[in-house]
A and B are shown apart, each in its own frame.
Chain A
Amino acid sequence: MGKIKKPKLNQVKSNIVESLELPRDIMYGAVIITAMGRNQVLVENYKGIIEYTREKIRLQTKNCQVTVQGQRLVVEYYTNEEMKITGFIQGISYDS
């Protein structure tokens, strides 16, 4: 019973979010990635850092993992809510 109910609940939730136009980042805890030019990426709503080297930063978010690839990557600051990555960005990819 529970297994059938859960997708239904999800459906209801997404319906509510859609119809009331509620912000998705709050409702789903979706990650927000703001890339400014090639040198700056601002990541909000992440859970934690999995891996960090100068060429690759892997972050855990609620639903997926986000990898920022580049050169000379530096975390300018990071708090519970957001982090700012600077450096030469070469790619942003999502892995489940």
Chain B
Amino acid sequence: MLIDKIKYLQGYVRVRLYGYAPERFLNLCSNHNILIWNLEYREEQYEFCISVRGLRQLKPILKKTRTKLVILERTGLPFVMRRYRKRKLFFAGIILCCGLLYTMSLFVWKIEINGNLHETDSNIIKFLEGHQVYHGLLKSKIDCDKIEEELRAGFGDIIWASAKLEGTMLIIDVQENLATNQQAEAKQEEDGTPTDLVADKEAVIYSILTRKGTPKVEKGIHVKPGDLLVEGKNPVLNDAKEVASYQYCVSDADILGITEYPYQDSFPLQYDDKSFSGSQSETFGVRIFQKQLKIPHISHKFESYDTITDEYDVKIGETFYLPLVLIKETRKEYKIVPKQYHPSKAKQLAKENLESFCKELTEKGVQIIENNVMIVTDGKKCTASGILKVIEPIGKRKATSMADIQQEGQMENESDGNNR
């Protein structure tokens, strides 16, 4: 393959050889290191290909072997150049094209971001734009180390970033900290500030298991939002069974409560359905830099339609993106048809909605114990309403209020510490 290309670039001719001693001619050629290929014998004459450079050295050999040579065809770039030597604009165009390609290769035309799960691509690109890294920036102005640093500093949950330039593409790999929330929680606990657990919603306590702190509720007690469940301080009693001081701690408990979720869902039986007529119109366009050029839709005019736009990046090889995007826009016509659900179908739909709601709850770690939802279909709409009784973990953290116990208590506490 490559050898063929090189042969084409250097130019070669196909010649016919005849005369007194063609075999001797061939041997002399190989002795002079003149390459001959595709040698064929045809009606007592030889036909072969020989490079232009080889052809120039043939004269003495031809004379010696008393053979003659006829050029059958010329192939290769030198001959093409010779044929088009008067077309100056053509060559100018080639040079211009090369120049343009080179200039385009100096800029970044695509930013690719890999490894992000929480942060969206557009979010990161917006952030980079804020830091003077954008599409169409000179590649020489990009400092990959700086981008990495800025990304790490700018996004709390990005713990590792790597930026590299490949062709006209800036590739950014990031690694996000997936355990951010858990860590933050753990940190809060490690923080050491004493905390209480308070109810975050109305519930009946189903079970309570306290690891740290003083439980303030029992099984079966009804609590309202804000009620104290576990207090983050343990009273220290003196000999007279009076509270002398408090030991503060970060309370920790598993509290399950029975809570109620109201469920309400209703939808009209009549609905509009999109019915695609099947006719569609296509148009094409290009986007150069930020400018968009499009051929308007002429063939069809639709009243209501869906628009599907496909964009194709123009690139050379894998990574050399050009600031040119081909756009294909398809409009699909549809008509709105009013339709009505059959009551049984509506009921099924309501049931499905309820099921998906329940599933969502279960995924959150909630156990459903009672499901009192009624689905009613009257002439116009379908209504599902009722209450779901569930068991779920309750309780949220709140800083413990420091009790102002009499000075002595604290004094005592301190002296206790000293004695130990």
Asked whether A77 lies within 8 Å of B26 as measured between CB atoms, the reply is: no
Contact segment of A2-10, A15-23, A28-36, A46-54: A46-54
Contact segment of A37-45, A68-76, A88-96: A68-76
Closest A residue by C-beta to B23: A49
- How far, in Å, is B10 (CB) from chain A's closest CB? 15
Q: For B41, what are the chain A residues with a Cβ–Cβ distance below 8 Å?
A: 52-54, 73
- How far, in Å, is B394 (CB) from chain A's closest CB? 81
Q: For A52, what are the chain B residues with a Cβ–Cβ distance below 8 Å?
A: 23, 26, 39, 41, 46
Contact of A79 with B26 at beta-carbon distance under 8 Å, contacts A74-B38, A74-B39 already known: no
Q: For A75, what are the chain B residues with a Cβ–Cβ distance below 8 Å?
A: 36-40, 48
Q: What separation, in Å, do the CA atoms of A38 and B176 have in the docked complex?
A: 61
Closest A residue by C-beta to B29: A78
Q: For A73, what are the chain B residues with a Cβ–Cβ distance below 8 Å?
A: 41
Contact of A77 with B36 at beta-carbon distance under 8 Å, contacts A52-B46, A54-B41 already known: yes
Q: For B46, what are the chain A residues with a Cβ–Cβ distance below 8 Å?
A: 52
Q: For A78, what are the chain B residues with a Cβ–Cβ distance below 8 Å?
A: 26, 30, 36-37, 39
Contact of A76 with B37 at beta-carbon distance under 8 Å, contacts A49-B23, A50-B23, A52-B46 already known: yes
Closest A residue by C-beta to B44: A53
Asked whether B30 lies within 8 Å of A48 as measured between CB atoms, the reply is: yes
- Category for how many chain A residues contact B: 10 to 19
Q: For A74, what are the chain B residues with a Cβ–Cβ distance below 8 Å?
A: 38-40
Q: What separation, in Å, do the CA atoms of A79 and B41 have in the docked complex?
A: 18
Q: For A77, what are the chain B residues with a Cβ–Cβ distance below 8 Å?
A: 35-39
Closest B residue by C-beta to A72: B40
- How far, in Å, is A32 (CB) from chain B's closest CB? 16
Q: For B30, what are the chain A residues with a Cβ–Cβ distance below 8 Å?
A: 48, 78-80
Q: What separation, in Å, do the CA atoms of A73 and B40 have in the docked complex?
A: 7
Query: What are the interface flags for A59-87 relative to B under an 8 Å C-beta threshold, 1 for contact and 0 otherwise?
Result: 00000000000000111111110000000
Closest B residue by C-beta to A57: B41
Q: For A47, what are the chain B residues with a Cβ–Cβ distance below 8 Å?
A: 27
Q: For B33, what are the chain A residues with a Cβ–Cβ distance below 8 Å?
A: 79-80
Q: For A49, what are the chain B residues with a Cβ–Cβ distance below 8 Å?
A: 23, 26-27
Q: For B38, what are the chain A residues with a Cβ–Cβ distance below 8 Å?
A: 74-77
Q: What separation, in Å, do the CA atoms of A11 and B274 have in the docked complex?
A: 98
Asked if B279 CB lies within 8 Å of chain A CBs, one says no
Closest A residue by C-beta to B25: A49
Asked if B31 CB lies within 8 Å of chain A CBs, one says yes
Query: What are the interface flags for B13-30 relative to A under an 8 Å C-beta threshold, 1 for contact and 0 otherwise?
Result: 000000000010011001
Q: With A74-B40, A75-B39, A77-B37 given, can you name 10 additional A-B contacts, CB distance below 8 Å? A: A49-B26, A50-B23, A54-B41, A74-B39, A75-B37, A75-B40, A75-B48, A76-B38, A78-B30, A79-B33
List the 8 shortest-distance A-B pairs measured between CB atoms, nearest first. A75-B39, A77-B37, A48-B27, A54-B41, A80-B30, A53-B41, A74-B40, A49-B26
